[in-house]
Amino acid sequence: MLIDDARDRVIVALDCDRERALELAHALSGHARWLKVGMTLFYAEGPKIVRTFKELGFNVFLDLKFYDIPHQVRGAARSASLAGADLLSVHGMGSGAMLAACREGAEDASNERTDRSKLVAITVLTSMNQDSLAEIGIDAPVAEEASRLARLGQANGIDGVVCSPIEANDMRALLGPDALIVTPGVRPKGAALGDQSRVATPAQAIQRGASHIVVGRPITGADDPAAAFDAIVDELAREVD
């Protein structure tokens, strides 16, 4: 894989406060191309943090995992799209009507911007395992549940999924070559697992079919975040054809 292509595949998760997020963004400028804004940062700073990162030249994955009645999700997708987010997440469990409403909101916002925010459906969180699913009344194997939600998302206009690297190969076969397959739960060799249960290395995730990988603490917690990011990019360029 070419270095330039590898840089486009890595999304850096900024799950921190504004001061640290901006410090990391400046440190990663010229290295990373994608930043992920999750609930911790967004609920503190709102849409302006998305606009700030866009002004700094980054693509933004706004990972709020929309999950509500269709009317609310339609409005949320529209508002998030108008804030400038390039990629949005929505819970796959929210029903076909909710997923279709999410697409409608993004489409509506595209009339006021040059493109449409892409959408990915959350399948099974990477912190969850079979016991976790059983706790919420789902008896199906993790891979089967992830596939079911992926099919539901695709049938209702969603561009791809968020899944663990373990399911990425099945998702690619199921959804086809153009689907977005975003995989958290990625840890470089030797990194601590944190609260992730179903993990893989960056190269393994891409080789299994991921279009993008999400990496947080191994980069943001490093003494030199840019060097940690570049090490992952180098791994992808070296190990992925």
User: What is the torsional sign of CA 195, 197, 202, 205?
Assistant: negative
* Alpha-carbon gap, residue 52 to 48, rounded angstroms: 6
Q: Which of 36, 48, 54, 65 is catalytic?
A: 65
**Rounded CA gap, 54 and 34, in Å?**
10
- Relative to beta strand 212-215, strand 180-183 is parallel
36 catalytic? Reply is no
For 55-73, give one letter per residue: b (16+ CB within 10 A) or e: eeebbbbbbbbbbeebeeb
Rg (CA), the chain: 17
The residues that bridge with 59 in the sheet, in sequence order, are 34
Active-site residues: which are they? 65
